[in-house]
């Protein structure tokens, strides 16, 4: 891939950010008044946190935005020494131009150690005359309270299908691609509200064909078709364990999924099953236990087969009633 479309089509202005209208409205007001507090962006991956930070800098500083915007990934540089040296040195220097302040963007700030966050809160307070901090994280609960109280908090939600569809159609038009109806539905299913994942899926599928359909997407995405996962559960709930095991082998070999990938897709599919709620409770309870064991290092294959064996037992109970 010569260009990464996520960067190529990153919005240049706040108004172009997709699916976060309330947040864009508040940030635009800050840009117009040029009165900016420290900011905390919290939410899932691919929902526009970094894009909003860059777009805000462009609106505040214009052509000089790159020299007044400093980005650090806190997951790479997460210790207290980084806060005391690199961040502090940048924060204390005067801004260039007429902006009045610079912006330090700390991506993945929830990866900062507790000591680093404690040092950061004093730096944020001391250098407000020359610098504003924008912190981005997936989990705001991992940011200490003194930092949260110093920031205006913006909570980003997973994107709805409509803005994702609109943005992908814009890219498809520019790249001379055709996205079929089932192809768009598949991208939205794969993305789960993550615009970055949606754009990357589109780009990878476009490397195979100019027509983006369901087949092209599932060939390139590490995700199984929802109907195949549903069929796996349907077989399990008929009480046929060996047939269920064969279907699991099909999924693992054809799509190259990991155990956690299968667990996540089963979780999404359980709620679409036409069975009593009491049985769904049992399925989800067992699913959670299997997922925990996998995360702790248990063998994926054994845990998946044990999970499906439990589903088979539940299916046999259902047949008795």
Name which of 130, 148, 59 is nearest 90 in CA terms.
Answer: 130
Give the largest CA-CA distance in the chain: 77
Measured distance CA(154)–CA(26) in Å, rounded? 9
Q: Where in the chain is the domain with CATH 3.40.50.300?
A: 5-155
Which among 153, 150, 154, 94 is positioned nearest to 117, based on CA atoms?
150
> Directed axis angle between helix 277-295 and helix 259-270, to 10°?
160
- Express each pLDDT in 297-306 by its tens digit: 889 999 999 9
CATH number of 161-220: 3.40.50.2300, 1.10.8.60, 1.20.1260.10, 3.40.50.1220?
Answer: 1.10.8.60
Contacts for 147 with CB less than 8 Å, ≥ 6 apart:
40, 117, 120, 121, 124, 135
What predicted TM-score, i.e. pTM, was given to this entire model? 0.84
Residue 251 has which token pair?
Answer: 């999924």
Does the domain at 226-320 match CATH 1.20.272.10? Answer given as yes
Mean pLDDT value across residues 201-214: 89
Question: At a CB cut-off of 8 Å and minimum separation 6, what does 99 contact?
Answer: 60, 61, 64, 68
**Average per-residue pLDDT for the chain:** 89
| The two three-digit tokens of residue 99, written as one number | 């902006």
pLDDT score, position 66: 87
In the chain, CATH 1.20.272.10 covers 226-320
Q: Which residues pair with 104 in a beta bridge?
A: 70, 133
16 burial (CB, 10 Å; 0-12 / 13-18 / 19+) is middle
Are 205 and 28 in contact by the 8 Å Cβ rule? The answer is no
Least confident of 29-38, 51-60, 69-78: 69-78
Specify whether the CB–CB gap between 189 and 265 falls below 8 A.
no
The domain defined by 5-155 folds into Rossmann fold (3.40.50)
- As annotated, the residues of the chain forming the CATH 1.10.8.60 domain(s) are 161-220
Q: In the chain, count of helices (H) and strands (E)?
A: 16, 7
Q: What's the rounded Cα separation, in Å, for the pair 23 and 107?
A: 18
pLDDT in tens, 229-267: 999 999 999 999 999 999 999 888 878 888 888 999 999
Distance CA 189, CA 164 (A): 11
């Amino acid at each position: 891939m010569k260009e990464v479309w996520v960067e190529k089509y990153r919005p240049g202005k706040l108004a172009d950010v997709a699916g976060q209208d309330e947040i864009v409205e508040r940030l635009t007001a800050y840009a117009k008044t040029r009165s900016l507090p420290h900011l905390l962006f919290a939410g899932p991956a691919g929902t526009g946190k970094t894009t909003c930070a860059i777009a805000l800098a462009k609106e505040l500083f214009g052509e000089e935005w790159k020299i007044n915007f400093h980005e650090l990934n806190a997951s790479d540089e997460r210790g207290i020494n980084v806060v005391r040296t690199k961040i502090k040195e940048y924060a204390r220097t005067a801004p260039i131009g007429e902006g009045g302040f610079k912006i330090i963007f700390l991506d993945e700030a929830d990866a900062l150690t507790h000591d680093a966050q404690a040092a950061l809160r004093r730096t944020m307070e001391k250098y407000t005359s020359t610098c504003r901090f924008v912190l981005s994280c997936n989990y705001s609960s991992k940011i200490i309270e003194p930092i949260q109280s110093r920031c205006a908090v913006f909570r980003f939600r997973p994107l709805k299908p409509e803005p994702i569809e609109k943005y992908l159609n814009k890219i498809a038009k520019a790249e001379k691609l055709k996205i079929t109806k089932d192809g768009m539905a598949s991208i939205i299913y794969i993305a789960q509200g993550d615009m970055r994942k949606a754009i990357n899926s589109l780009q990878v599928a476009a490397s195979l064909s100019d027509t983006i359909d369901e087949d092209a997407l599932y060939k390139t995405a590490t995700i199984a078709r929802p109907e195949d996962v549903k069929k796996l559960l349907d077989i399990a709930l008929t009480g046929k364990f060996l047939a269920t095991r064969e279907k699991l082998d099909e999924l693992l070999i054809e799509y190259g999924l990991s155990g956690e990938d299968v667990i996540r897709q089963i979780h999404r599919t359980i709620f679409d099953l036409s069975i009593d709620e009491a049985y769904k409770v049992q399925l989800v309870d067992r699913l959670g236990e299997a997922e925990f064991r996998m995360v702790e290092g248990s063998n994926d294959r054994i845990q998946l087969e044990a999970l499906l064996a439990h589903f088979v037992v539940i299916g046999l109970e259902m047949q008795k009633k």
